[in-house]
Structure 1
Amino acid sequence: MKILKIITILVFTVILQGCIAILAGSTAVATKIAQDPRTLGTQIDDNLLKLRVTNELVKDQQIRKYTHIIVTAYQNKILLTGQSPKIELIKRAKLITSNISGIREIYNEIRNVKKVDFVTKIFDTWITTKIYVKLLTNNIIKLCKLKIITENNEVFVMGIVTQQEAESIVNLISHIRSIDSINTIFSIKNI
């Protein structure tokens, strides 16, 4: 009987820990949604656009086999980054993307080079992490206003910012080593 009580307490403890994790995760998501300068509708549209573009691109067997393409959506703008060994596949990726409704602008930044290796992808993630940490510790801007993508040492930054924030962001990123270029797709808001 005593063992049954102990097992019951342990089971409930594990179950309640899961509930707390779900509650904490839900709170974090709600906070990010509330602080994002885009409307909730635009945030949903962006996520759906990203899924639709990605889905259409992977339907093309050559694109799926020979390229590495990252799709990023922000304010109904699509950023295509990555690598392709063939220029015609880069053009095809943009054409496929342009046939999807709801997209305001397409930025095709797919490079005509072979796909990057795993080590480069890890290093790109490290660069993006360094950027987020620098932005966070310098209090330049709320991170939820930005999307930052690093592909093969090239940094792409999307977001809704003031002119001063844009200049501060680029200045901060330019001091991080190993970055080949900084590409911005900002919507400049007036204060």
Structure 2
Amino acid sequence: MHGAVARTALTIGFAAALSASLQGCFVALAGAAGGSALVATDRRTVGSQTEDREIQVKALSDLTKNLPDTSHINVAVFNQRVLLTGEVPDEGSKQKAEALTRAIANVGSVVNELAVLPASSFSSRANDSYLEGRVKGELVAYKDISANNFKVVSERGIVYLMGLVTPDEGSIAADATSKVTGVQKVVKVYQYIQPGQKAVPAVAATSAPTPVNADEEPTVGAVPDASVSSRPIN
């Protein structure tokens, strides 16, 4: 029964990503006609945004088909960097998930944050969705950054921040996130850019992309006076 629930969660995630991909095609076309503010404010090129959606759909499909039913995996993609979060039953499944993801065309790097744990409960996932909304709302309130430049992912109270940002923007967002009630830790999975830099092409993929460990990036606990340092993940 538990495995069926986990499988259903993965299937729902795949369907949601597919829907987002189809919607993304429409948004990209609207942007070409001068109608999409979201695409216009994204620092990725339109091509990179489309590629990210395709990578996400492919990764969810491959992981659903090839990992145990008890796995619960979320896939977030930004500028060809793939973040894997969730839970898998054993270390072999964690490594297999990374290998499957790295094998997908145009993946630049993989941040494997899967935990070898039982699949999270429905209430835990609901709380993560709530935290994502709270963090996004918090980022909107800061005038020195644009919330549109950040992708927010929450897993078991750990919040991951992705995006093409300057070091200052990244620090502001991480510090703001750390102050949101319920956030256990903030992990920065940024790709840094220069101030004033606009659209940024996706990173060049190689035949064997280098995996990235988010533990190399500084983290900060959810305390009001936390100091946040920044170091790019290359």
Structure 1 counterpart of 2:182: 178
Matched, 1:68 2:76: no
Structure 1 counterpart of 2:107: 103
Greater mean alpha carbon deviation, residues 36-45 or residues 169-178: 169-178
Could you tell me whether the CA contact under 8 Å between 1:77 and 1:103 is conserved in 2? Answer: yes
Structure 1 counterpart of 2:127: 123
Distance 1:125 1:89 in 2: 25
Give, in angstroms, the shift of residue 163 of structure 1: 1.0
Distance 1:181 1:112 in 2: 18
Give, in angstroms, the shift of residue 154 of structure 1: 0.6
Distance 1:143 1:178 in 2: 20
Count of residues paired in the alignment: 164
Q: Which runs of 4+ in 1 moved over 4 A?
A: none
Could you tell me whether the CA contact under 8 Å between 2:67 and 2:97 is conserved in 1? Answer: no
TM value normalised by structure 2: 0.67
- For the aligned residue pairs, the C-alpha RMSD in angstroms reads 1.7
Distance 2:89 2:64 in 1: 16
Of 24, 48, 51 in structure 2, the residue corresponding to residue 45 of structure 1 is 51
Distance 1:84 1:181 in 2: 20
Could you tell me whether the CA contact under 8 Å between 2:67 and 2:93 is conserved in 1? Answer: no
Give, in angstroms, the shift of residue 141 of structure 1: 2.0
Could you tell me whether the CA contact under 8 Å between 1:146 and 1:158 is conserved in 2? Answer: yes
| Greater percentage in helix | 1
Structure 1 counterpart of 2:225: none
Structure 2 counterpart of 1:162: 166
Could you tell me whether the CA contact under 8 Å between 2:94 and 2:114 is conserved in 1? Answer: yes
Matched, 1:33 2:58: no
Change in 2 beyond 3 A, CA 1:86/1:147? same
Change in 2 beyond 3 A, CA 1:140/1:68? farther
Change in 2 beyond 3 A, CA 1:61/1:134? closer
Give, in angstroms, the shift of residue 85 of structure 1: 2.2
Give, in angstroms, the shift of residue 57 of structure 1: 0.9
Give, in angstroms, the shift of residue 166 of structure 1: 0.8
| Matched residue type, 1:86 | D
| Matched residue type, 1:33 | V
Instruction: Report % sequence identity.
Output: 21
Structure 1 counterpart of 2:217: none
Give, in angstroms, the shift of residue 139 of structure 1: 2.5
Deviations along 1:56-107, whole A, 9 cap, x unmatched? 1111152xx0110001110011110001121111111011111112111000
| Matched residue type, 1:44 | T
Deviations along 1:102-147, whole A, 9 cap, x unmatched? 1110000011111111111111111111111111122242222111
| Matched residue type, 2:47 | G
Distance 1:173 1:182 in 2: 7
Matched, 1:92 2:96: yes
Could you tell me whether the CA contact under 8 Å between 1:140 and 1:169 is conserved in 2? Answer: no
| Matched residue type, 2:63 | L
| Alignment gaps of 5+ in structure 1 | 1-25
TM value normalised by structure 1: 0.81
Distance 2:128 2:79 in 1: 24
